[in-house]
Amino acid sequence: MTQFSSTGAAGSASPTLLTRLFQAREASLLLILLALVAVTTAINSRFLSAQSLRDLALNVAIVALVVVGQTLVLLMKHVDLSVSSVLGLTAFLTGSLFVANPGMPIGVAFLAGLGMGAVLGAINGLLVAYGKVPALVATLGTLYVFRGVDYAVVHGGQITASNLPAAFSGFASGSILGVPNLVLLVLAVMTGFGIYLRSYRSGREYYAVGSNVEAANLAGINVNRRVLTGFVLSGAIAGLAGVLYLARFGTVDAAAGNGLELQVIAAAVVGGVAITGGVGTIAGAGIGALLLGVIGSALVALRAPAFWQQAIQGALLLLAISIDIIIARRAARAMQERSHR
């Protein structure tokens, strides 16, 4: 059977070149991150205080978690715009379960969030994989449909911390060796999916589908099933993020997670996940989420106007997409030159 690397189909010249280029890109992001932290700390020494670092880690964690699912979808040359609505809806519904069942075990809440998210993700997957609706159109539609359902269910109400068990709220605020539980859970999910994409054939199939659908079909990959699975996983992860959002903030209303989808997509693309599919890693996407989180915190520490954060996110997204296009063209040119030798 044909083997696939983390940047596309094996056996071609371009994946090797792309691998080197994107590894260099991840290293560049880390250098930019370190430089940003150093400059901000020099201006405001409290930026690296223990509490500031804790707040930064907690704020980035939920975005980084949703980025994992978004990465799976982007690798297949699709996009999931509905993740913010999935997060908001599952957060409120999970809180409602606690209100209706005060003694409900915390583990049941996590399973419920995963299950609800998976069902919502399956709707997206069926529309894209079997309905052949473009992912951008399908998930833009479900973004509003799920948010509309959220508003209908919430009906002007909200879940507050007083409705939640102390143990559940304590999970997000608790820590092990100084590292917040929420951050450890997100790191575990990222590590697991990073290994899955790199070391298992089913994980490498995401790259194959995004690189060349026709070649993936010829290699025996069930493309429709892989696309459906990717969206189900994206939904399930967004559902899990919804449960963690509830535990982190305690108060949830119909606007929970609004606009998160753009942060998630920007983080993934800035982190090296190509919008054209077939290229990227979970680690790179995580670095992208961390970079955007640090930029946001740095702007707050420097007392810059809030609108600059969105402006910088947009600029970085455009820059990252431009870099992807340039790299893809150079890789294609290099492959053509080698084929003519």
Give 9's pLDDT tier (boundaries 50, 70, 90). very low
Rounded Cα distance between 52 and 321, Å, is 31
63 neighbors 321 (Cβ within 8 angstroms): no
Report yes or no on 318 lying in a domain.
Answer: no
**What is the average pLDDT across 98-117?**
92
Total structural domains in the chain?
Answer: 1
Q: Is the pLDDT of residue 261 over 60?
A: yes
CA 107, 110, 113: angle at the middle one, nearest 5? 150
Report yes or no on 154 lying in a domain.
Answer: yes
Report yes or no on 13 lying in a domain.
Answer: no
Report yes or no on 24 lying in a domain.
Answer: no
Report yes or no on 290 lying in a domain.
Answer: no
Q: Identify the pLDDT of residue 187.
A: 95
Report yes or no on 20 lying in a domain.
Answer: no
Give 268's pLDDT tier (boundaries 50, 70, 90). very high
Q: What is the mean pLDDT of the chain?
A: 85
Give 271's pLDDT tier (boundaries 50, 70, 90). confident
pTM higher than 0.75 for the full model? yes
> What's the domain range around 216?
48-256
Report yes or no on 288 lying in a domain.
Answer: no
127 neighbors 68 (Cβ within 8 angstroms): no
Report yes or no on 218 lying in a domain.
Answer: yes
* Contacting residues for 3 by C-beta, under 8 A, at least 6 apart: 10, 11, 201, 204
